A = this chain, B = another copy of it.
Amino acid sequence: MAEYAKQLVKEEVTILPEGNVVTPKGFTAGGVHCGIRKSKLDFGWIYSQVPAATAGVYTTNAFQAAPLKVTQESISTGCKIQALLVNSGVANACTGEQGLNDAYEMRKWGAEAFGVLESHTAVASTGLIGELLPMEKIKQGIDQIHQQENNHVSRFERAILTTDTREKGTAVQIEIEGKTIAIGGAAKGSGMIHPNMATMLSFITTDADVDASALSAALKNITNKSFNMITVDGDTSTNDMVLAMANGTAGNSPLDEDHPEWHLFEKGLAIVCENLAKEIARDGEGATKLVEVHVTGAETDQAAQAISKSVISSNLVKTAIHGADANWGRLITAIGYSGQPVNPDKVSISIGSVKVVNEGMPVAFDEAEAKSHLMQDTVIIFADMGAGSGEAIAWGCDLSYDYVRINASYRT
């Protein structure tokens, strides 16, 4: 049944292998090195030919960074964004009054550079907490925006990275009212990635004409099932933000929940978010593989979400998977302390296609077969609670020596 539903989606939504944030019409993007980071690109932008209806989802961390406050103010003014500026290297978080002023200044300079309203300009930052934005360098970045050679989407994708090892872009195509519509996305993740707002920065573009409040509701709903279902290390950052910009250049009539093809737009948006979320998990700090935990048969979807997050967040599960060790006791343990109602005698678990626990009891299984699945690029754990029809998928990664190496010396 789930397989059938998946195929339906595939027929209606085409995934574009080389897709990205400028696949939708009317968007450009670029990036430069402005000197915040030693030599890597550290300043990027997305520009839309026309103001785009925009929705945002923001970190739940009490210490919300300055750029998030400024961007929320922009969006709340008219729900439209036309230009987005992002720097990496410095997060502009815990920087008080001065940090807020700097974020406003960055927005102002960006608006001037693109000739758009300040209230149509969004800013984002990622990097070290507690340092002030080096404003001269930000200015240098902005000054390079209109140099032809900097306007390549791959430069944007690179400029927003921190400890990520690769760029993350995706796009899908759908047809609505006979018109071709694209939805694209870019993201950065790597550290401080945890459910409860996806952490990370994620930017989604579409040339569809979408009602801002419908877009906002869909983004929130889909974020809960994609970005909020990934974890790298259990830490929710101060700077997390997902923005979705819809510029309407595809020429469809405005989409909202009442449009007969709304479900198709939602599906496309969901696939873009899920793809980005998985890419973030796969590229977690020190990660050598993507881990998916599929929970079925829980009492409710919410219970399934909590159980899958409990398993994907367990350091003991993550290290066992790193060592390709079919240590299902750790899976059972993480299910057991999820805080959800669980009947131990009903729980069944498979590692890939290898069943290791059947209704609470160990199964004699082929260790070599389980190990061979655990050595794959993508490891899938299936856990059925035998209690109801609640289901959820969570994504994460293994915990490696490199995670410790990277984080024991990030600042110094």
Chain A residues at the B interface, C-beta cutoff of 8 Å: 60-63, 91, 93-96, 128-131, 191-192, 194, 196, 233-238, 313-316, 319-320, 322-323, 325-330, 332-338, 341-342, 344-345, 357, 360-362, 399-401, 403-405, 407-412
Contacts and interface: CB of A to CB of B under 8 A. Distances in A.
Interface centre among A192, A333, A360 (most CB of B within 10 A): A333
A322 B405 CA distance: 10
A61 B337 contact: yes
Contacts of A62: 335-338, 341-342, 344
Given A235-B330, A314-B234, A337 B60 contact: yes
A91 B412 CA distance: 42
A341 B62 CA distance: 8
Contact of A336 (B238, B332, B400): B238
Contact of A332 (B129, B313, B338): B129
A408 B327 CA distance: 10
A319 B163 CA distance: 15
A277 to B, nearest CB: 19
Contacts of A191: 316
A335 B94 CA distance: 12
A235 B334 CA distance: 7
Contacts of A329: 91, 93-94, 128-130, 238
A194 B310 CA distance: 13
Contacts of A235: 314-316, 330, 333-334, 337
A329 B313 CA distance: 22
B400 A323 contact: no
B333 A129 contact: yes
A233 B319 CA distance: 11
Contacts of A322: 404, 408
A371 to B, nearest CB: 9
Contact of A410 (B63, B128, B327): B327
A313 B234 CA distance: 9
Given A94-B362, A96-B361, A233-B316, A238 B332 contact: yes
14 contacts: A60-B337, A62-B335, A130-B329, A192-B316, A233-B314, A234-B234, A235-B314, A235-B334, A238-B329, A238-B332, A319-B408, A327-B410, A327-B411, A404-B404
B401 A94 contact: no
Contacts of A407: 315-316, 319-320, 323
Nearest to A63: B336
Contact of A61 (B234, B336, B405): B336
A93 B404 CA distance: 31
Contacts of A341: 62
A130 B316 contact: no
Contacts of A344: 62-63, 94
A3 B344 CA distance: 47
Contacts of A323: 407-409, 412
A130 B313 CA distance: 21
